[in-house]
Each structure stands twice: as C-alpha cells, then as structure tokens.
Structure 1
Amino acid sequence: MRTLLDLILPAACAGCGTAGVGWCAECAATVAGPPVRVRPRTDPGVPCWTLGPYAGPARRAVLAAKERGRRDLGEPLGLALAHGLGRLRDGERPLVLVPAPSRRAAARRRGGDPVSRMAHAAAGWLPDCRVVPMLRVWWGVRDSVGLTTNERQHNIRGRVVARPGPGAGPRISANTEVVLVDDVLTTGATARESVRALSRIEVPVCAVLVTCSA
C-alpha cells in the first residue's frame, strides 16, 4: 500500500527529498539546460549528448526510477529529454526514439522499463515523433553496476539484437532522424552495441542522448 500511495502522491522529491513533490523545480533545473557533447571511452560511432553529469539530483532520480519503483519520474524526466531533443533535432524531419535495451528480468523487477517510459513521455511532447522499441539483449548479460570498462565491453559485446516488434508502425524512412536514448551513459559499451545492432537492419542512428553521463 505504501508503494501504491507513493506512485499516486510521492512522499518526497527524488532529487533532494523536499516533501510533497515528486520532482521539484530546483532539481528539474539541473537537467533543463542545453545538451552537452560527451565522448565516452567506448566510441559508439555517433555523437553522444547528455543533459547533465551523473551526480546530485539527476543521479538520485535515475536510481529512484530504476531501483525504487518511482514510475512517476517518467514524465518529468521525459519532459527534460524532450527539451534536449528539441534543441538537437532537425525540425524538418520525423524523429524516432529508440530506447536502449534493458534486461527483461530487470524490467520486471522495476515494474517496467524506466528508459522506455521516459522515451514515451518525451515523444508525447514533440511533434512528428514516435518511439520504436526494437532493441533486445540476449540472456547471459549481467547487471553492469560495478563492472570495469573491459568487463562491460565483454558483457554486452554481440549480445544486443535489433528487430522491430509488434506495433512498431511504418518502416523507418531514410529521411527520419533516429536517436538512441538512455538514462545513463558510462563507458559507452551499450550505446556502441546498440548502434551496431541497428545498423545491421539498416537503421542509421544519428545521435545518442542520455539523462546523465558518468
């Protein structure tokens, strides 16, 4: 019952703990600026952008969405993502958001995929934009928390596959901008494998945008 009440009326801001608000204006401001270009250690082969560093309110919000079932954060983090996409996109072209892949077991434990939830919220704020969840990870992929750069690369290498699922909608045309979205960018290993998997089915990614980068 406590979890249900927190979803309806969050007890405190996920970023700073202010009572009575799920995500306060001060914490929202930490991911509201223009996206910043980052260059992860593992190069995905496309430009990578972040809304802020993996620290402070942004880090706490990502962890709350992932580990504490704060599904209410999908909307405000999605709005921040939409603002960032609005600054980066070519307004003359359709936009497709592809959520980074998540392990099914992790998604079930979290009550859904927070990255997909954030992407759908962002698409709702943007004209001519849709979400196409087409990335999957094979069994055997471990949680990347605590892994070194080399271990992350080995953990995910060759284990991301791309295929449009049911309800993916019309085929993605060559005129479409495709952006890979995720909550955190660390080494870049998952982003690189995701970009590679999409390229194999002739879906070229033009950029990666994340909520925060480590």
Structure 2
Amino acid sequence: MLDAAADLLLGGRCAGCERPGRVLCRDCAAALPDSARPAWPTPVPAGLVEPWAAAAYDGLVRSLVLGLKERRLLGLRRPLADLLATAASAAVGSAVPAGSVALVPVPSRTATVRERGHDPTYAVTAGAAARLRAAGVDAVAVRMLRTRPGVVDQAGLDAVARSANLTGSMACTDASLRRLARRRPRVSVVVCDDVLTTGSTAREAQRALEAVGLHVAAVAAVAATRRRFPAPRQGPSPGRAEAPYR
C-alpha cells in the first residue's frame, strides 16, 4: 500500500502497461496467472527435481521481474511473491510429504546485491512463504546457500556455459543448517528462483542442499522462459492433470 501510494504521489507508472499511477495497475494485476504448471528445461539437467512455474517469462511478468530487479520498484515484491507462492503451492501439493517446508532462494552474488541495494530473490521468496503460511502450510523462507568467488553473471551464457559456470559453485552454510534444524527438525526443501532458464542454477542449488542431507522435493519459480513453458494443450479432460512439459 505504501509503495503504491508513493508511486502515485511521485508520478509513477504501471510496470506492465505504463499507465500513470500505481506500480501495478488493477487491470495488469487481474491479468496475472493464478495457477502453475511443471516447466521442465530442455535438455533436463541430470537429476533435477520437478520444476514448477506460474508463468512464461515474457510480456507482463517479464516486466515485473525486471522492474523489481533492475529498477528497484519495491511495490512489485507483492505480486511476484503471489506468483512464486502459486508455483510453490503446486510444488508442495505435488511432491512434498506432510510436514514443514523450507523455501530456499537461489543465492545472488554479493556484488550484485550490493549494486542493486536489495536482494529481490530472497524478498520474493519470503513473501511466498508468508502466503503459504496464510494458507495453512508450515512454510519458512531460509537463506541457506552461498556462492563461491569466481561465478560470473549468467546473462548471455548458453546451457553448457551456465552449467560449467555453476558446477560446484554453491554451498550450504553450517549456521543456516543449524538454525533450520532447531526450528524445523523434519523439513522438505523447495528451491526458489525468479526465472527458470536452463535449470543449471536450480540443479546446483539442489546439489548443495542434498550434500548436507536435506530432502529437496521440487523447484518453484515465478516464471520460466517460453521454450521451457509452452502454451497448454487445448481441451484437457475435465479433472485430469496434464502431464509435465518437457
């Protein structure tokens, strides 16, 4: 509410349609998806758990992701958290046994967080966890992963280069593991990110968490790139779940 009021008073515009006023107008907010689907990368990184996404990474959703990350439009944290919560809820219902759920964001490089002045992936993940709790799921957002020095920006890298850049790049911190064990001794993990592209980042996060004995049940993302998130098939049978996309 405060972010929206500030944007209105300062002459802001909708990140989706450029309409003067709120950072996200009511029409654009109403156009956001309210369901999620499996979004398998092609090719699938070996061993990747099932990934879920709420939207394709284009159009309105792409504008929202970039608006928060690159333009620091903090009012977009709420709608993006809603989308991630939708994906995480689908992942939880599909793959997580009864019990606690830890939403673990993929780590951002320290230099990137410092340059942006905030950590959008964690903020959106924390918001998603709050929405799951409101829906009755025992969920918590936990920063558990750190990156080693030398990891470069993934933008512009193909699948092979991304995999090489990320292999062995993440580790689970001992302190975060102890905190999680105290708060929720039996927990399933959902790896969270804003955009799923090749799956290399999610797979490396999964590897690092599994290396310390955690059960990684699924991946949840706000969006997946279009070729990994094709349009739904026409006319699915009522009440019948569609098969995962590959």
The 1:7–1:145 alpha-carbon spacing in structure 2 relative to 1, beyond 3 Å, is: farther
The 1:16–1:153 alpha-carbon spacing in structure 2 relative to 1, beyond 3 Å, is: same
TM-score, with length taken from structure 1? 0.88
Does structure 1 residue 76 correspond to structure 2 residue 79? yes
Other-structure match for 1:133: 143
Does structure 1 residue 173 correspond to structure 2 residue 174? no
Contact 1:30 1:52 in 2 (8 A): no
AA paired with 2:99?
R
Moved more, 6-15 or 39-48: 6-15
Other-structure match for 1:15: 16
Q: For the residues of structure 1 that align with 2:156 and 2:36, how far apart are their CA atoms?
A: 27
Q: Percent identity?
A: 34
Aligned with 2:151: secondary structure? coil
1:105-163 Cα distance to aligned partner (Å, 9 max, x none):
11111111101000111122222211111111111111111111111111111111112
Runs of 5+ unmatched residues, structure 1: none
Q: Deviation of residue 85 (structure 1)? A: 2.7
Q: Deviation of residue 29 (structure 1)? A: 4.2
Q: How does 1:59-138 map to 2 (within 5 A)?
A: 59-90=62-93, 92-127=98-133, 128-138=138-148
Q: For the residues of structure 2 that align with 1:139 and 1:16, how far apart are their CA atoms?
A: 39
Q: For the residues of structure 1 that align with 2:219 and 2:190, how far apart are their CA atoms?
A: 6
1:64-87 Cα distance to aligned partner (Å, 9 max, x none):
111111222112211222233334
Other-structure match for 1:53: 56
1:8-61 Cα distance to aligned partner (Å, 9 max, x none):
326112122122111233333454322111111342520001111110011111
Q: For the residues of structure 2 that align with 1:168 and 1:57, how far apart are their CA atoms?
A: 39
Larger radius of gyration: 2
Moved more, 86-95 or 60-69: 86-95
Q: For the residues of structure 2 that align with 1:23 and 1:48, how far apart are their CA atoms?
A: 27
Does structure 1 residue 199 correspond to structure 2 residue 210? yes
Does structure 1 residue 162 correspond to structure 2 residue 172? yes
Contact 2:142 2:176 in 1 (8 A): no
Other-structure match for 2:239: none
Name the count of aligned residue pairs. 209
Q: For the residues of structure 2 that align with 1:165 and 1:13, how far apart are their CA atoms?
A: 40
Contact 1:42 1:192 in 2 (8 A): no
CA RMSD in angstroms comes to 2.3
Q: For the residues of structure 2 that align with 1:135 and 1:210, how far apart are their CA atoms?
A: 17
1:79-110 Cα distance to aligned partner (Å, 9 max, x none):
22223333442494222100011101111111
Moved more, 159-168 or 192-201: 159-168
The 1:104–1:6 alpha-carbon spacing in structure 2 relative to 1, beyond 3 Å, is: farther
1:169-201 Cα distance to aligned partner (Å, 9 max, x none):
341434x23111100011111111100000001
